[in-house]
Every structure is written in structure tokens, then in C-alpha cells.
Amino acid sequence: MPLPIDPYQYTLKSPVSCCGTGLHSGRTVNLTIKPAPVDNGIRFFRSDLAPGKHIKAHLDKVVDTRLATTLGDHSLRVSTTEHLMAALQGYGIDNADIELDSGEIPIMDGSAEPFFEMMKKTGKKKQNGLRKILRITKTITYNDGDKTISISPYNGFKITGEIAFDDDIIQTQKYTINLNTDRFDKEIARARTFGYVEQVEELWANGLALGGTLENVIAIHWNRKSVLNEDGLRFEDEFIRHKVLDLIGDLALLGCSVLGHVNAYKTGHTQHFAFMQALAESPESWEIVKMKKNGAYSVLEQVMSTTKAAGDILGPLFHYKPAMLPTSA
């Protein structure tokens, strides 16, 4: 049986650009996504600081998970990477170089759709290189109080998210998706980030969320029954869909495709990274597989779980230092 993952790596057909505002900095930022060669992965460049230097979009470059995911390497920083990473993952892009002239990815409309749409417009290109896949063979669970996240063996990449809020508008919401480009496009890409209106005010008072407006954040009314945004919600359960979007964007920092079912309950960026750390430290629960073509089918070429090859692929995972993370807010 062929695996439910396209065995080839992909990049964009041509560069695409957009301009927007950083959610927290309020600064204008220009962003370009450029095609990149096989095995390049996703890399970020700060054209305003050090044009030749990059930060790899990988778990071991995560330096902050409060409010948003921030990547860093030496003095370079790029923050709020999750929606763009989700769009790249959702569209199936393995290799791209992303250039920006400020420290924060633009928030656009608060969802992944603007990034997804601009990539769809130019299209993606199949490359002459095969993907490496992290296949889960045993369930791994991470708990943090009542928040929990696990991954179990599954012949596909399935994500289930659940949230439970003590209010009328969100309450308990659960969403499951077998991730592919079409379903990401229709069900997840448009879901926007959200917050309680008094939380947004508190962030403003602390000099954060300076770019946050009703154009890019769902603001939940003080009464907890409605939203302040004139056009209302894009989906009745837009909140959990956005949580799944964030999770997809964070998991993309594993740097390879995944065969497994992720189950997340009440989690945020901080738990996502602690979970990936637990995953990295449990090599008995997964293996790295590589695809090859066999006639019309893609088959597993070999299993490389504890070999040097596995270390080369997931290498940065093993060097990940959780101590780099500040305590979560």
C-alpha cells in the first residue's frame, strides 16, 4: 500500500511577496518567499540586519514561546512564525527561503490564508529529491497540568485539537483533520487568531499587540457571548480551527513530514515545544523512513531509526536545549 504522503519534495515556482504589520511590534514589514533547492528546508533571512545570515526553521532555533513562536540564532530573531509555517506545511512546501526586513512576520488578517493564497497563485514545483518521514511507532504523551498532547501511530498525518473555555461563545470545541492541501485550504487556512478584548487592552498597555486591530484579531466581547468584529466569525468553531492551525505551524518545525496522529487538549506554543522535546528524547517511539519510487508506487526504502542517518535528519532535535526557553507567561 502506498503511503498517504507525496514522496517528493516541493518548492515554489517563483518568489512571492507581501507587505503587512507585525502584530506585536506594530511595524510595517515586507516579506518575500523564494524557491530553494532540495534539502534546503525553510530558512529565514533578515535583510535589514544581516542579509547573508539565516535562521533555520527548526525546533532547535526556538527561543521564545510566549504569545507567539520566536526563532533565533545568535543575535538574529524572527517572531510570530506559526501562521506562515502552517501555510507552508498546508501547501506542502519543503524548501523555501523567506526574507523579511523586520523582526516579526506580518499578521495579515490573523490567519494563514493570505500566505496560502499568494503561494497558490504562483504554484509549487516538484523537485528531484525525496522526503524523509518521521513515522511514529509508539504513543508518546506530554502532560502539563490539565493540558495534554500526544502522538500515536497512524498511516497519515492526522491532527485533533480540543479546547475548553469557561464562557458562552467558545465553550468546548474539538476539531480533527487528516492533513492535506485541499482540506487545509478549505477548513483551516482562514481561521483567525483570537483574544478576549480585555486581554488585548492589557497587551496594548504593555506595549504589545500594537498592530492588533479588528482587521486581524477576533476580539471576544466582555459579555463572552459575541465578538466585536462586525462580520462575526468565519466558522462557528473558528477558535479551535485556529488552534489547530497554530499546532500545524509549530509541528512544521520538526523539519520533516510526519506519519502519526497528534491529539492536543488545551495546549499552546509552550506545550507544543515541550512535547516535541519529549518526542526527540524517545527514539524508541519513532523511526525515520525514506521514500523511493517503485513503478507507479512509492514504497518505504529503509528504516533508519537509530542510525547516523536518522541523526542527520533530526539531528538538531537532539541538541535542543529546553533551558533556552523562558518560563511561559
How far apart CA 25 and CA 104 sit, in angstroms, is 7
Which residue in the list 221, 269, 272, 319 is annotated as catalytic? 269
Nearest approach, Cβ of residue 248 and Zn ion (Å): 10
The DSSP line for 123-182 is -EEEEEEE-EEEEE-S-EEEEETTEEEEEE--SSEEEEEEEE-SSSSSSEEEEEEE--HH
How far apart CA 190 and CA 184 sit, in angstroms, is 9
Is 221 designated active site?
Answer: no
How far apart CA 109 and CA 130 sit, in angstroms, is 34
φ, ψ (nearest 5 deg) of residue 296: -85, -10
Which residue number, 66 or 125, has a Cβ lying nearer to Zn ion?
66
Which residue number, 108 or 288, has a Cβ lying nearer to Zn ion?
108
Q: Which of 79, 127, 193, 267 binds Zn ion (CB under 5 A)?
A: 193
DSSP β-ladder status, 8-12 and 16-21: unpaired
How far apart CA 56 and CA 2 sit, in angstroms, is 31
Which residue number, 108 or 325, has a Cβ lying nearer to Zn ion?
108
- What cell was used for 107? 499578521
Which residue number, 81 or 193, has a Cβ lying nearer to Zn ion?
193
Nearest approach, Cβ of residue 78 and Zn ion (Å): 15
Is-contact 11 88, C-beta < 8 A? Answer: no
Round to the nearest angstrom and report the end-to-end CA distance of the chain. 46
Residue 113 binds Zn ion (CB under 5 A): no
The DSSP line for 222-253 is TTSSSBSSTT--SSTTHHHHHHHHHHHHHHGG
Total residues contacting Zn ion by CB under 5 A comes to 2
Closest CA to 5 of 83, 94, 81, 82: 94
Is-contact 171 196, C-beta < 8 A? Answer: no
Segment contacting Zn ion by CB under 5 A, of 20-28, 178-186, 189-197, 279-287:
189-197
The neighbouring-strand residues paired with 55 are 44
Enumerate the H helices of the chain as residue ranges.
82-91, 113-122, 181-183, 197-205, 238-251, 269-280, 308-318
Q: Which of residues 235-264 bind Zn ion (CB under 5 A)?
A: 246
Nearest approach, Cβ of residue 246 and Zn ion (Å): 4
Which residue number, 60 or 246, has a Cβ lying nearer to Zn ion?
246
Nearest approach, Cβ of residue 183 and Zn ion (Å): 18
Nearest approach, Cβ of residue 111 and Zn ion (Å): 8
Which residue number, 130 or 218, has a Cβ lying nearer to Zn ion?
218
Residues taking part in catalysis: 269
Residues that bind Zn ion (CB under 5 A): 193, 246
